[in-house]
Amino acid sequence: MCGRYASARKKHELLEEFQVELDGDPEVELSPDYNVAPTKKVYAVMSRVPKEAERAVRQLRVVKWGLVPVWAKDPSIGSKMINARLETVAEKPSFRQAFAKRRCLIPADGYFEWMPVEGDKKKKQPYFIHPEDGGVLAMAGLYEFWQDKTRDEDDPLRWMVTCTVITTTGEDEAGRIHDRMPMMIEQAKWGDWLDPKLTDPKTAGGLLVPADAGRLVAYPVSTDVNNVRNNGPDLIKPLPPEEEVALF
């Protein structure tokens, strides 16, 4: 699974990086977050056709991590739907409509996974996994709109936009640490993945291919990341050499 990640790039950097045409939430800018956890507000890149427009426009929106299906009676279900497995995403009732019509990219600098410490299976060591070249990690995601019908029509809180991260089998460096990893979309396929006109699940699924070997690197980091209240760039700093040696 992917349950924690880091996203510290500023909004203007993401707008440029993802060639965004519309800032969907111009009055909101999220603070750099080095310990993004489920139910937090995050950035998502999506393409939607605005009212009275003739084509889809790529936009950056602030959404909540943890997808709430349109049929859900209670939005708290989203905390259980932070990930969608690649193997079943096109069939599961919770995700299949979003997979066909509402795909997005979730920007990250990297993500965290935990691996049992050798000789002490009860203890787990966190690792930070990120692109070797320092570039942005565009995680494949889905988004959904959920309506709180108990609120007035003109209440800005009546609608909630949520997202989930698609995961796949861990490969290469990431697979050594954990058997699952977030699915990444390479830049050349961003346009196709976001295209709302692409509604065939098989075609969409064909865009999800494992990252090239060596694309990601991993290193152990402080267990401070275990606590969601901790934040800051120190969470993604490699452990000192002497502490890293002690793990093996």
Kindly list the catalytic residues: 2, 113
Find tokens 């494992």 and name the residue.
210
CA 87 to chain centre: 17
Taking alpha carbons only, the member of 163, 145, 160 closest to residue 106 is 163
Q: If residue 142 lies in a helix (H) or strand (E), which one and from where to where?
A: strand 137-147
SS3 40: coil
Q: Are strands 110-117 and 120-131 parallel, antiparallel or unpaired?
A: antiparallel
Find tokens 């949520």 and name the residue.
162
Q: Is 92 exposed, middle or buried (0-12, 13-18, 19+ CB in 10 A)?
A: middle
- Residues whose CB falls within 8 Å of the CB of residue 69, separated by 6 or more in sequence, listed in order: 77, 81, 93, 94, 95, 144, 146
Joined together, the tokens standing for residue 183 give 């699915």
d(CA 92, CA 24): 29
